[in-house]
Amino acid sequence: MSITRRDFFKIGGLAALGATAGGLAHAQARPAPARIRPAIRWRGSVSTVQADPALHLLRRASFGPTRAELARVRRMGVDAWLDEQLAPENIDDSELETRIARRYETLSMSPADLQALDDFPRIRRELGGATMERAVYSQRQLFQVMVDYWSNHFSVYWGDGPVRIFKTIEDGQVMRAHAMTTFRQILGADAHSPAMLVYLDNARSSVKAPNENYAREIMELHTLGVDGGYTEQDVKELARILTGWGVDRRTGDFRFYPNRHDWGEKTFLELTFPAGRGQEEGEEALDILARHESTSRYVAHRLCMRFVADEPPAGVVDAAARAFRQTSGDIRAVLRVILTHDDFYASVGQKLRRPFDLIGAAVRTLEIPNARGVTLARALMLMDQPLFGWPTPDGYPDDASAWLNANALLARWNIGLALAEGRDPGAQIPWDRFWAELGNDATAEETLDFFIDLVLHQAIESDDRAQLLAYLTHDGAGFDIDDPEHARRVPELVALLLDSSYFQWR
């Protein structure tokens, strides 16, 4: 069953349907008997209120604003914040990385050590936990967004045999090492990645039996795009060029096997590759692909889909593609063009938060300290976005239509309620701090406005505010924060805000 955006707003009241299980990871995808049924019909969204450039930038170029970070961006200006984020090597993240290294030991293991450990559930659990904690707590927010982007662009399915070991290595040595370098660098690192070579079968490709899977996907999904100007013969020729690019199963490292390589002459994209060349002709093919005009268009369009709109305007795509060509694929330069373009700032409310973005933004906006990444990663499975869990090489969809169906929406809403009610010890809202900020004599209106600011960081339409106030006060019967029955409605109010169109869209 598909649901239009209008329907998504209309059924917003279902956000309050509760789940019976005890934690985030066990919130039911289908609703349990309802405990709260506010008749909320959202009349506005993030796109119907006055745009705030700082808030918009944080919603797109980070995993979500916090009150402190939003105030900092407003003080320093969006350009200065972007300059800072485009140089992540100058941002001190050592405290977070020390905690992650202590908590997730498998991240620092070699492929041989991971194979000897032979504990696939632990390997996956620790990579997922670290990924979530970095997304939520890193000061290098744009860097973390780009790590997620490239992990999806060069998607490998974690559950595919030895990839269960190699994905941890790829995360550190490819995605995190090259997320802010050049496209040629990350393309090359990925082409040498055992995870990719095993996943797309190039590790077993040979002159006697060339395998075309990786050759096809590197052009269709990674560089030129499906209409990028290559032919079936180009696929066959590139497969021949990449024969011998494999994996040393003893060490888990990349290895070129001369005895498996096709040493004959090839013609690729109308260029002749003379006979007698080995690994270097594969490197040349990567050079050609990285600087091809179709690649500049394809990568620019994909980046604009992530940062601007599901159907990005031609103006920003053209500008990004031009920057890609002029800078030889410098990722920082392309990002700067996109994130300062008029089309970017005109795109408020045009991107639905995918589950990963949604969980990250909720934990950040609720200022939850030291959330357990493993808890958050498990919650993603309920919303059909398990980390590194997309089985085909095209990566998770980046358009709203893929995420708007009845079960997915109910899962989002139930996760929101489970998070607001603190059902999992791995993700606890600091309610005592919020109550202290509010004060013991806070009125219903003061309480409502406090949490609107905390969760949404902006005003909402007056009709929507009136509905929430009526819910908080039992339709005007009164509100006493010291009354347990009244206080119980505050977490439910937070859940409604998380589940609203103002939060789900950005």
414 in the same domain as 448: yes
Residue 113 has what pLDDT?
94
User: Does residue 275 form part of some domain?
Assistant: no
- Which two structure tokens, joined as six digits, stand for 52? 């705030």
The span from the CA of 418 to the CA of 19, in Å, is 7
Q: What is the pLDDT of residue 32?
A: 40
416 and 482 together in one domain? yes
pLDDT at residue 14, rounded to an integer: 33
Do 339 and 364 sit in the same domain of this protein? no
CA dihedral 175, 180, 185, 187 (to 10 degrees): 50
The per-residue pLDDT for 50 is 73
The answer to whether 131 touches 150, Cβ cutoff 8 Å, is no
Q: Are 261 and 278 in contact (CB under 8 A)?
A: yes
Token representation of residue 66:
């916090």
pLDDT at 23: 65
Question: Which pLDDT score is estimated for 33?
Answer: 35
Quick check: is 21 in a domain?
yes
Beta strands in 244-360 (DSSP E): 245-248, 253-256, 266-268, 271-273
Is the torsion defined by CA of 28, 156, 329, 139 positive or negative?
A: positive
359 pLDDT higher than 80: yes
376-398, pLDDT tens digit by residue?
999 999 899 999 999 999 999 99
Say if 339 falls within a structural domain.
Answer: yes
Residue 395 covered by a domain: yes
State which of 147, 163, 179 marks the end of a domain. Answer: 179
At residue 246, what is the residue type?
Answer: G
Highest mean pLDDT among 154-163, 276-285, 476-485: 276-285
Q: Can you tell me the mean pLDDT for 225-229? A: 96
CA angle centred on 148, ends 227 and 181, rounded to 5°: 75
- pLDDT tier at 9, thresholds 50, 70, 90: very low
* Predicted confidence (pLDDT) per residue in 246-297, tens digit: 999 889 999 999 999 999 999 999 999 999 999 999 999 999 999 999 999 9
Paired with 2 in beta bridges are: 405
pLDDT of residue 258: 98
Residues 391, 297: contact at Cβ < 8 Å? no
Say yes or no: 93 and 163 in one domain.
Answer: yes
Domain identity same for 318 and 407 = no
Q: What is the mean pLDDT of residues 412-425?
A: 90
For the chain, the average pLDDT equals 91
Structural domain contains residue 329:
yes
Among residues 161, 179, 197, which one ends one of the domains? 179
pLDDT, greater one: 401 or 440? 401
What secondary structure letter does DSSP report for 395?
A: -
22 lies in the same domain as 104: no
Q: Write down the residue that tokens 């040393």 correspond to.
A: 248
Same domain, yes or no, for 322 and 391?
no
| Res. 329 pLDDT band, cuts 50 70 90 | very high
Task: Give 187's pLDDT tier (boundaries 50, 70, 90).
Answer: very high
For CA atoms 157, 159, 161, 167, the dihedral sign is positive
Check whether 476 has a pLDDT greater than 90: no
Helix, strand, coil percent values for the chain (each to nearest 5) = 60, 5, 35
- Round to whole Å and give the CA distance between 11 and 361: 22
Q: Quote the domain boundaries for residue 111.
A: 86-179
pLDDT band at 127 (very low <50, low <70, confident <90, very high): very high
Same-domain check for residues 312 and 427: no
Predicted confidence (pLDDT) at residue 316 exceeds the cutoff of 70: yes
Indicate whether 126 and 22 sit together in one domain. no
Q: What is the reported pLDDT for 25? A: 60
Maximum CA extent, the chain: 86
In this predicted structure, what is the pLDDT of residue 20? 32
Round to whole Å and give the CA distance between 462 and 417: 24
482 versus 71: the higher-pLDDT residue is 71
Domain-terminating residue out of 179, 202, 235: 179
3-state SS, 203-244, equals HHCCCCCCCCHHHHHHHHHHCCCCCCCCCHHHHHHHHHHCCC
Residue 31, in any domain of the structure = yes
386 and 331 in a single domain? The answer is no
What pLDDT shows up at residue 190? 98
Angle (nearest 5°) at CA 462 between 457 and 468:
75
Q: Decide if pLDDT at 2 tops 70.
A: no
pLDDT band at 4 (very low <50, low <70, confident <90, very high): very low
Residue pair 136/371 in contact by the 8 Å Cβ criterion: yes
Question: How many domains is the chain built from?
Answer: 3
- Asked, for residue 471, whether it belongs to a domain, the answer is yes
Tens-digit pLDDT profile for residues 424-436 = 899 999 999 999 9
Cβ(168)–Cβ(174) under 8 Å? no
State mean pLDDT over 53-78. Answer: 98
Whether residue 213 is predicted with pLDDT greater than 80 in this model: the reply is: yes
Residues 320 and 398 in one domain: no
Give the C-alpha separation, 71 to 280, whole Å: 51
- What stretch of H or E contains 153? helix 141-153
DSSP 329: S
Alpha-carbon span 317 to 210, nearest angstrom:
36
Q: Are residues 387 and 495 in the same domain?
A: yes
Residue 61 lies in a domain: no
